[in-house]
């Protein structure tokens, strides 16, 4: 694994605001290199700075080019993003498979770029032809239009996600307090059963084992900390008070 | 597999624009049910309609509630989204593992909701205590603030992504008993708190909110069936007997 990241290229972005929001979305997931091909508005751009909400390093290092070819001159693998499928034969990735592919490219020392077209029109066929592979998003077919920053956000997210996947732990606990041991849990459970016995909770002897199973099965799911177990002891003690 | 989808709940959203962008992000990935808890601006809201960019069906069906508890009254599993980790013990998901978990909940017939806090402040501790599980985003630690619509977008994307992945997930045969709804759980919780109050369990007024949060946070993890909730009612009733 390398810590290389793809370059984000915006071709003919229309609004400075959108460029700023793209910069923010990139930095949210650790991407920093942005290139623009002939933005419609002047660059540097105050509106971009403002919507970047602090992603200043991205905005300040943004480079501007005349053509898409120039913008990717030092890149080995160019990925184009597109909503519609095209007639041209091309490798078509989902954001997820693209993220994996990009990582593999980086692992072999290649430099990558992901290209996004203008807000309304997307990439043109000429741009598509330049791309080594395409990326399409699995959106709702009846309502598929993502805005530019959102499209960049999802790709940036996928890249960080695929980096993290190896260390993705399914369930984590939110704090450091120690968990109750089984013995501590059993201790609570037995005291509870004794109390319930005293209070006539178990209506018949025959039902008792099943009722106990149900109680245990429900309580064990809590995966309690020691502190929480103490709270439960406290609740039971309080209820018995008169 | 079912085609059930989670409900998106926004607690105290500040700006109509953001609500509209959330609706758009939802519909991009096929989510349609939006609920608001006390939005700051009036509802229906023209700015929301305008930024929804055509996601009219989501906006028109949006329901407004006074409290978070009311907004999730018919829900079985509530997921809270949070940027910071909290002291309360909780199940913490990434968007990816949350999406899988939500799908499994739907496969067992449960109804789910994902809750997002206000734009700047996020969810409060009281809200967190209500949640069965939390979701945090794997953002750049040095630049982690996602806007509201982007946070909803990423979760919605993950849900569609995991559905596409999950054609191999088998339908899980659920336990036949129905799960308790949030309203039924609240009913139990409120009766428990009343009893604890009577019995002098809360030592000081100052500690009471935190103690309640801890109790709720621990009990909510059980994800009880109606029958189990009845058992708990029975246990408390038995303990009070003398």
Phi/psi at B63 (nearest 5 deg)? -110, 150
Q: What is the pLDDT of residue A171?
A: 36
CB atoms A240 and B239 under 8 Å: yes
Task: Measure in Å the smallest separation between the Cα of A4 and chain B Cα atoms.
Answer: 15
| CB A28, CB A135: distance < 8 Å | no
The pLDDT assigned to A23 comes to 97
Share of chain A above pLDDT 70, in %: 90
On the question of pLDDT at B14 being above 90, the answer is yes
Looking from the CA of A42 toward its CB, the CA atoms found within 13 Å total: 3
Cβ distance B87 to A175 less than 8 Å, yes or no, reads yes
% of chain A surpassing 90 pLDDT? 49
* Pick among A167, A239, A241 to test the B interface (most B CBs inside 10 A): A239
| pLDDT at res. B2 | 62
Cβ contacts (< 8 Å) between A231 and chain B: which residues?
211, 214-215, 218
Query: Residue A141 — pLDDT band, cuts 50, 70, 90?
Result: confident
- Cβ A6 vs Cβ A113: under 8 Å: yes
Residue B170 pLDDT class (50, 70, 90 cuts): very low
How many angstroms separate the CA atoms of A122 and A13, rounded? 10
- Lowest mean pLDDT, pick from A114-118, A224-228, B43-47: A224-228
C-alpha distances in angstroms, B149 versus A33, A159, B84? 24, 20, 18
Binary contact (B89, A201; C-beta < 8 A): no
How far is the alpha carbon of B176 from chain A, nearest alpha carbon, in Å? 15
Predicted pLDDT of residue B168? 37
In this model, does residue B85 exceed pLDDT 70? Answer: no
Residue A111 has pLDDT above 80, yes or no: yes
Residue A35's pLDDT is 98
Domain ranges of chain A: 7-165, 182-240
Which pLDDT belongs to residue B125? 87
Identify which of B218, B198, B230 has the alpha carbon closest to the alpha carbon of residue A215: B230
Pairwise CA distance, residues A1 & A203, whole Å: 63
Mean residue pLDDT across chain A:
86
Under the banding of pLDDT at 50, 70 and 90, the label for residue B164 is confident
Question: Mean of the pLDDT values across residues B132-141?
Answer: 89
Distance from CA of A67 to the nearest CA of B (A): 30
Q: Are B76 and B186 in contact (CB under 8 A)?
A: no
Contact A218 B222 (CB under 8 A): yes
The percent of residues above 70 in pLDDT, for chain B, comes to 91
Q: Choose from B21, B26, B28, B103 for mutation: most chain A CBs within 10 A.
A: B28
Task: Give the list of residues 6+ apart from residue B133 with CB closer than 8 angstroms, or none.
Answer: B77, B78, B79, B80, B90, B91, B92, B93, B98, B101
CB burial readout A106-141, b (16+ within 10 A) else e: beeeebbbbbbbbbeebbeeebbeebbbbbbbbbbe
Q: Would the CB atoms of B143 and A54 count as touching at under 8 Å?
A: yes
pLDDT tens string B190-219: 999 999 999 999 989 998 998 998 898 888
Please tell me the predicted confidence (pLDDT) of residue A173: 42
Query: Mean per-residue pLDDT for B149-165?
Result: 90
Report which of residues B183 and A110 the model is more confident about. Answer: B183
Q: How does pLDDT run across B103-135, given as a tens digit for each residue?
A: 988 988 889 999 999 998 999 988 988 898 899
* Per-residue model confidence (pLDDT) at position A2: 60
Residue B176 — very low, low, confident or very high, per pLDDT cuts 50/70/90?
Answer: low
Which residue from A30, A138, A231 is facing B218, i.e. has the nearest CB? A231
Residues of B in contact with A168 (CB under 8 A): 94, 96-97
Contact call for A25 and B150, based on CB within 8 A: yes
Give pLDDT, residue A130. 78
The nearest CA of chain A is from the CA of B116 a distance in Å of: 18
Q: What is the pLDDT of residue A177?
A: 65
Best residue in A17, A137, A153, A173 to probe B by mutation, most B CBs within 10 Å?
Answer: A153
Q: What is the pLDDT of residue A155?
A: 96
Kindly report the backbone phi and psi dihedral angles of residue A25, in degrees, each rounded to the nearest multiple of 5, phi listed first.
-60, -40
Q: Model confidence at A77, in pLDDT bands (50, 70, 90)? A: confident
The pLDDT value given to residue A168: 39
Nearest-Cα distance to chain B for A127, in Å, is 25
Residue of chain B with shortest Cα separation from A97: B161
Residue B89: band (very low, low, confident or very high) from pLDDT cuts 50, 70, 90: low
Q: Please list every residue in chain B whose beta carbon sits closer than 8 Å to the beta carbon of residue A140.
A: 27-30, 160
pLDDT at B156 over 50: yes
Closest chain A CA to residue B219: A222
Contact call for B238 and A164, based on CB within 8 A: no
Asked whether residue B174 carries a pLDDT value surpassing 50, the answer given is no
A162-171, A201-210, B63-72, range with greatest mean pLDDT: B63-72
Phi and psi for A125 in degrees, rounded to 5? -60, -35
Nearest-CA residue of chain A relative to B86? A174
What is the predicted pLDDT for the residue at A86? Answer: 61
Among all residues of chain B, which has the CA nearest to that of A55?
B143
* CB contact set of A43 (below 8 Å; sequence gap of 6+): A36, A62, A64
Compute the average pLDDT of residues B46-60.
Answer: 95
pLDDT computed for residue B145 by the predictor: 84
The CATH code that applies to domain B7-165 is 3.40.1280.10
Q: What is the per-residue pLDDT across A39-70, written as a single tens digit (0 to 9) for each? A: 999 999 999 999 999 999 999 999 999 999 89
The complex scores an ipTM of: 0.74
- Cβ atoms of B37 and B10 closer than 8 Å: yes
Cross-chain residue pair B88–A175, CB shorter than 8 Å: yes
pTM: 0.80
Q: What is the mean pLDDT of residues A135-142?
A: 88
Mutate to test the interface with A, among B150, B194, B220 (most CBs of A within 10 A): B150
Comparison of pLDDT for A142 and A220, the residue scoring more: A142
How confident is the model at residue A88, as a pLDDT?
57
Partners of B223 on chain A (C-beta within 8 Å) are: 221
**Of A173-182, A196-205, B111-120, where does mean pLDDT reach its minimum?**
A173-182
Q: What is the pLDDT of residues A6-49, one digit of tens each?
A: 999 999 999 999 999 999 999 999 999 999 999 999 999 999 99
pLDDT at A227: 87
Q: Do B200 and A241 touch (CB under 8 A)?
A: yes
Interface test with A, best of B3, B51, B90, B153 (most A CBs within 10 A): B153
Which residues in chain B have their CB less than 8 angstroms from residue A94's CB?
A: 161, 164
In angstroms, what separates the C-alpha of B166 from chain A's closest C-alpha? 14
Nearest chain A CA: its distance from B32 CA (Å): 11
Pure H helices in chain B: 16-28, 46-51, 56-60, 68-71, 95-107, 125-130, 148-165, 182-198, 208-220, 226-240
């Amino acid at each position: 694994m390398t810590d290389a990241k793809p370059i984000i290229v915006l071709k003919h972005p229309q609004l400075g605001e959108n460029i700023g929001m793209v910069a923010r979305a990139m930095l949210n997931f650790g991407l920093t290199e942005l290139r623009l091909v002939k933005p419609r508005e002047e660059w540097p751009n105050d509106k971009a700075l403002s919507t970047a909400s602090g992603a200043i390093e991205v905005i300040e290092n943004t480079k501007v080019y005349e053509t898409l070819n120039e913008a990717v001159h030092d890149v080995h693998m160019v990925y184009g993003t597109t909503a519609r499928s095209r007639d041209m034969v091309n490798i078509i990735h989902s954001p997820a498979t693209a993220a994996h592919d990009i990582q593999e490219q980086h692992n072999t020392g290649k430099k990558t770029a992901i290209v996004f077209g203008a807000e309304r029109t997307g990439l043109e066929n000429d741009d598509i032809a330049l791309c080594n592979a395409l990326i399409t998003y699995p959106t709702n077919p009846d309502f598929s239009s993502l805005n530019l920053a959102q499209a960049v956000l999802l790709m940036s997210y996928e890249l960080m996600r695929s980096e993290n996947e190896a260390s993705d732990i399914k369930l984590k606990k939110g704090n450091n307090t120690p968990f109750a041991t089984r013995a501590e849990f059993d201790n609570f459970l037995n005291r509870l059963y004794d109390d319930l016995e005293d209070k006539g909770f178990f209506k018949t002897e025959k039902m008792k084992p099943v009722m106990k199973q149900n109680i245990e099965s429900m309580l064990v799911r809590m995966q309690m900390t020691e502190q929480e177990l103490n709270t439960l002891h406290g609740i039971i003690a309080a209820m018995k008070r008169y």
